[in-house]
Structure formats: C-alpha cells, structure tokens
Structure 1
Amino acid sequence: RTYELTLNGGTPYERGVEVDPSISRRATSGVFHQMITQRRQPRLLVKIRSLNRRRREMLNLLPETLVGSMCQVPLLVFYRQILGDVLLKERTSMQSTDLICNPVLATFPKLMEQPDIMDALRSGWAEKENSLKRSEKRDAEFLKNTFIQVYHDTAYPLLQSTFLQEPRWADDETEAARWKSIADFLKQNREKEGAIHSLLSPDSLHKPFDISEIMYDFPEATRTSLVTL
C-alpha cells in the first residue's frame, strides 16, 4: 500500500507552510491550474508492505522504532543476540561494569557509521549462509558463531586497515576508491579462505593496536553509541 504525504516547510511548530511558496503564487484562479499546482508541491511516497514470518521474527528481536535498511536487519539481530549473551551470561554479576573483551561488540557501532564496510559484511554473510546446510541454518547457536567468524574475516580487518581512505560524505572519488579496496580485500579473502593471510602478511599495514578494538565498555556505549539495547 502506498501513501502520498505532502511535505511542509517552516519549523516543526508551524502549520500549512509550503516548501516552495512561489508555486502557489504563480497559480491562476482556474480549478484546473490549481490542481496542477497542488501536484507540483513536493510530496513523499511511503510504501508499506506486509512481511513474511521470517522477517517478522527478526524484527521482534529489534527495538520497536528502527530507521535503516532492511537488508541490515539480520546483522543487527546477530549483534543484539551477542550483546544479550555477553551481558546476561558472561558477566560476573548483573551490576558489573567491567570492560568486556569482545571485538564484535567493541567495533560494531563504528561499523554502522561506514555503510560500505557494512555492505561488505552483509555480502560475506550472504555467501557464507548460502553455503550452509539446512540443519546448520536451523541451529541458532551455530549461526551466531558462524556470523562472528565472518565478522572477524571481513568487517574487523577493514575497520583496522590503513589501505582504506577515511570516509567522506558525498565524495564520489573517495567512495569509489574505498569500494575498490574493499572488493579487492574480499576477493583475496575468498582465494585464501579467510582474513588470516591478510592480517599476518608483512605487506599489510594496520592501525596501531588500541585496547578499544577488543574491549567493550557497556556504560559508555549506552551513552554514546548509535547501537544500544
């Protein structure tokens, strides 16, 4: 189902302010011209569709309000499952605020700020998932551990690499260069069956190690992270 919403200008406290008042000023008194004028005003098309059972089950594991790409939902589900396991099962007590050694939790919020690396993770996970047996796909614990392995082979090395240029918003040259570097890295991973070769190769340069790469600070994350509970 599609909804057509008229976009308004002004501040959130103003009502009936047009985005482009000049369109109305150019309109004549004729009914036909008024109809055309209304169609020229900016509008937002919102399409709503029903989800299948699998998608609904995944969305039930996420916050009620979530803005983002639907293709990233499986990755967010795994992140929340890993986070839940760590906070509920692996801490010494529910009141503990000690640092948690977990590279996935420590770096995933940074991943959300770099959509091209997120796409690389999504691509790597899709390839891995397609190679799994049907019985393996039904094993939630096996899927979660496999996702962690894929994360360590794709997203984690890319986040710590030096061959990727710093992301720049709406910079086509930078985006193209990053995409090429990421594609070359993924191709090498397929040929070498993982990222170990790249991580241990003397030709590969990485950022100096920082403890924040592997240590998850739960209290700090709840205050500053894009991805929280």
Structure 2
Amino acid sequence: MAESRVRWRWLVLPGAALALWAVAHTSHTPAPDAAAGPSAAPDAAPSASPGGGTATAAPGGGPTTARPDGAYEPADCAAAVRRYAAAAGVPPQLLMAILYNEAYKPHDPALERAWQRYKPDAAFGVANMHRATFDEVKRGRDFASRTWEELPDDRNLAVEAAAWYLHDLDRRLPARWPAGHSRDELLALGYNAGGGNMLAFARGTTLGSQARSYLDRLHENWPAAGRAVAR
C-alpha cells in the first residue's frame, strides 16, 4: 500500500537510518519518463483486463535483481509486471505505473528496515505494501507461505502481491459508477487509499489533495509505464 502521505519525510530520515543505508548502498534515483492516460470507460463492465492494456506473460517472470550501483528503476521489474499482471488479470501498464508512483522513496532493503524500526507501520517493498494488506492478499494464493518481511528483498514477490491486490480491488468495483473516473484511475486510487475510499470515489466523493496528487502522478508516469512493459 502506498505511503504518499509521508513522501516528504524521506528527506528528513533519522540520522541512524541514513547512516545504515549509506554504509551499504548508494542513493536510489527513480526516473519516471513523460501518450494516452489511464484508460477504460467509467461505466464499462468488469473484464479480465479492465484498463484495455495488453497483458502478455513472460516465460519465467525474469530476475529483478538490483543494479550494480544499487539504483532502483521500476522498468527493471517489467518482466515480473507482465507475468503477474497476466496471472491476476490486470493491465500491466497500470501495475507498472503504480510501481513508478511508489518509487518516491529509496527501495533499499537496509534502509526500508531502518525506517520501519523508526515507523513500525511503514510499508515494505517496491510496491509499498503494508503488512495487513499483504497478509490479506496472499490468502489462498501461490505465495501464501511467504511473509511480509520478505518484500524488501524480493521484488518479484512485491510485484506479484501488488498485481493480486489490484485484482481484488477490481472485483469490488460495481459494473457502473457515477463518478467520472476510469477503472484504471479508481484501481490506482484504491491501491493508494484502500478499497473503501475507492468505492467512495466511484460514487462521486471529491478527491482530497493526497488522492489527487497520486492520480496526477499516475498520469505523469503512464507513458513511461507503457514503454517499460512494451519492451
């Protein structure tokens, strides 16, 4: 689950956390790139690929190991995004765009754990998922035996969990809704703010500043996400 409300706090991490991170790795610099925005008509019936994107499964998902310099680039997860988006029946471009949205903080295992000690309810992994969300999403799935603590070290697991969370959110949406948001937009809002808020936004509740900011970043990251999954 995203933690956009604490985005700015990564600029003022406690000295101990920064020191731990600096010893092990260099800083991460996500590089979102700026054609059409998130798709799907608001009143469309539910489908396996609600955003209209192409979801082609890669043979094995591909490795998503860190770059030699320790930097994190969401596009490095493209093979996993294609694989798990296809398995979960969600648009790969949407899943990739969310990874870009969630790249606002360094995704370094040591730093994530240091920050979690400072803020116990922090999210883990490249998709910024909270413990309760992960534990709910994994039930009855192939990764049911995995733990939330593994997310910082396993990007494939983080992507897989995010894909199935989007799948679960999609199943909660009605066939039609009055608000002028597309399915992709509502799923992204649900990823950021939770299923209850997603349904409220679908009914027409006005977006708050945090939700609006998340949606604006989704639109900004949409073209780069499309290019990444098309490689």
Could you say which structure has the higher strand fraction? 1
The higher radius of gyration belongs to: 1
* Global fold match (TM > 0.5): no
Give TM-score, length-normalised by structure 1: 0.30
User: Normalising to structure 2: TM-score of the pair?
Assistant: 0.29
